[in-house]
Amino acid sequence: LGPIGVFDSGVGGITVLKALKATFPQENFLYLGDTARLPYGTKSPKTVFRYLTQNVEYLKQYDVKAVVVACNSASSVLCPHHTFGVPVYGVIQPGANAAFAKTRTGRIGILGTRTTVQSQVYVKALKNLDPDLFTIQQACPLLVPLVEEGWENDSITTEIIVKYLEEMKQQNIDTLILGCTHYPVVKETIQKVMGEHVQLIDSADAIAEDLANDIAQGFLTFRPEHGGRIDVLATDDGAFFHHIASKLMNPFSINSWEMADLRQVPEKRLYEDI
């Protein structure tokens, strides 16, 4: 059996990969960052679904035993009726479950990209758990470029977060879903602006728990022999991606980097000798 595939539009999903690695240290992981087409969060559901399908098909060529869609925008177009021939895990349901488990007042906020917010996936998942939950959403399109600019500690970023959270602060929520893999990078500022009484939900931890449950229940096979590799593919070439990915992955290290051309069948060199 091959590795667990993890994909994201860019570097943000590395936070999910890190949580998975911490939970399953002996497992092999193959990460695909679709950096040539990022971001997904501003694109139409139709286009994002096309990208999702291509990425899953590409990863399947490495005999992945499962695919974790770390990207919220791509997870938002995952449909339970569509089968990929391999188990595909999105971050939405685990995030909604974690928020539902933590809330005491039943008032939950959701931050996400434009695509995720417009799709209402978190709202639907939460209302499915309990139709009486109160939900409020806010799209934060500038947080991704701010994080990628490296301005996470700049006062301008705080100002922008204050502006985005203005309405949400009026709504007395006690739980806030960070519905984008980039947002944990500015978690502390969000916590400060919202106040300590609001619990932040990071989907990275939630998805790792979800997989652990499925493994415990026998839904997903887990055979850790020869394991522990982390291989990273990206559709674009960039030193910046390597730099940020290594930083986010710390203290774990990445075994190999390669460029992925989604138009071509990969050579599968990575797992030949396993």
Q: Which residues are catalytic?
A: 71, 180
129 or 162, CB closer to a copy of itself? 162
DSSP-assigned letter for residue 236:
S
Among 124, 163, 187, 223, binds a copy of itself (CB under 8 A): 163
**Cβ–Cβ under 8 Å, residues 142 and 160:** yes
Strand ranges for 152-244 from DSSP E? 175-179, 199-202, 230-234
Instruction: Kindly write out the interface string for residues 121-150 of this chain, putting x where it contacts a copy of itself by CB under 8 A and - elsewhere.
Output: --------------------xx-xxx-xx-
Among 26, 57, 130, 159, binds a copy of itself (CB under 8 A): 159
66 or 77, CB closer to a copy of itself? 77
> At closest approach, how far in Å is the CB of 41 from a copy of itself?
11
69 or 140, CB closer to a copy of itself? 140
**Using the rule CB under 8 A, is 262 a contact of a copy of itself?**
no
Q: What is the C-alpha separation between 138 and 140, in angstroms, rounded? A: 6
Per the structure block, which two tokens stand in for 47?
């286009």
> At closest approach, how far in Å is the CB of 266 from a copy of itself?
18
- Concatenating the DSSP letter of every residue in 23-61 gives H-TTS-EEEEE-TTT---TTS-HHHHHHHHHHHHHHHHT
> At closest approach, how far in Å is the CB of 175 from a copy of itself?
26
Helix (H) or strand (E) holding 194: helix 187-194
**Cβ–Cβ under 8 Å, residues 6 and 16:** yes
Among 1, 22, 26, 47, binds a copy of itself (CB under 8 A): 47
115 or 199, CB closer to a copy of itself? 115
Q: Candidates 64-72, 156-164, 174-182, 248-256 — which segment interacts with a copy of itself by CB under 8 A?
A: 156-164
* Residue among 204, 202, 188 nearest 153 (CA): 188
User: 194-230: buried (b, 16+ CB within 10 Å) or exposed (e) per residue?
Assistant: beeebbbbbbbbbbbebbeebbeeeebebeeeeeebb
**Using the rule CB under 8 A, is 43 a contact of a copy of itself?**
yes
Contact residues: a copy of itself, CB under 8 A: 35-38, 42-44, 46-47, 141-142, 144-146, 148-149, 151, 156, 159-160, 163, 235-238
